[in-house]
Amino acid sequence: MKKRILGRTGLSVSEIAFGGVEIGMPYGLGAHEMPDEASAIQLLQKALESGINFFDTARHYGESERLMGEAFQGIRDQVVLATKCVHFKDEQGNIPAYSELKYIVEKSLEESLKNLKTDYVDLFMVHYADTDILQNEDVVRVFSEIRRKGSVKNIGVSVYKVEETAKAIQSGIWDAVQLPFNLMDQSHGDCFEDASEKGVGIIVRSVLMRGMLTERKFKMNAALEEVEKYLEAYRTIAETHFRNFPEYATKFALKYPQVSSVLVGIDKEEYLQASICNLEGNGLSDEIFVRSKNMQFPDPSFLNLAEWDRKGWL
């Protein structure tokens, strides 16, 4: 397993990061059978043995933090742990004033450290940093203070929109950004060069578009006819040049030198092994890379799977 440096953090992270949401709670499209505790712990340890050293979790991921704490007890120095703070906006969508915000964030971190059985986390992130959060001075103050205290080595944000990625990078505050990026939605790629210049680490998630960029075919509503055409065009390339669709999708994201790691949701050993196998062999050729970039879906804002699910399109 190759490793890359995560921006200015200096952390050496595996090209594949273990996404911990699916071992901690039901997640994703369709039925989801979670592993039992012993199986989850064994899976985490197997991932480490296989060369993955970067593990991503969050306070909102159910039992995920606690399971990682159990799995890595006594070998903490071998792993890079990233976790996320609880959501701190109130029901009206307002950000608490400094004192309350500080309490919420510090309490969240305290619980994370307890669950993870460690006295520090390598990367502590805002779970979803929208524009309001990114421009809030109290948020910046609280997270910067926590970083200075030492129990958090680096701070970052998880975002959804391109304008959020751009604002986080330009602020000079955040050490890393976790963002969605895949063959269909390449919009955040416009920010990669700026991130590299400013030393901001890039962690990519949704590289398989919640299973869309795999051999699994979904029964799609007529409203998604155009999406299906693009998926099939990419699938044709995958079948022609790669062992499988996920290999193609993963190698596309890692073709970007600014991308430090690709998050993959893993809840079974077969998925772990498949994720590792997807890195074997040659990387993406320049010809297929350029071709793939030119094929991206023209309206990334339409690629909202949660919204599709709510509308009954999947």
121 φ, ψ to 5°? -120, 145
* Strand boundaries in the chain, DSSP class E: 3-5, 12-14, 16-19, 54-56, 80-84, 123-126, 155-158, 176-180, 201-205, 259-265
Single out the catalytic residue among 61, 234, 248, 256.
61
* 43 in Cβ contact with 264 (< 8 Å): no
61 carries an active-site annotation: yes
Q: Give me the helices (H) in 206-256, please.
A: 225-241, 245-254
To which residue do tokens 């075919």 refer?
A: 217
- How far is residue 299's CA from residue 64's CA, in Å, rounded to a whole number? 34
Q: Is 206 left (phi over 0), alpha (psi -120 to 50) or beta?
A: left
| Cα-Cα end-to-end distance for the chain | 35
> How many other β-carbons are positioned within 10 Å of the β-carbon of residue 110?
11
Catalytic residues: 61
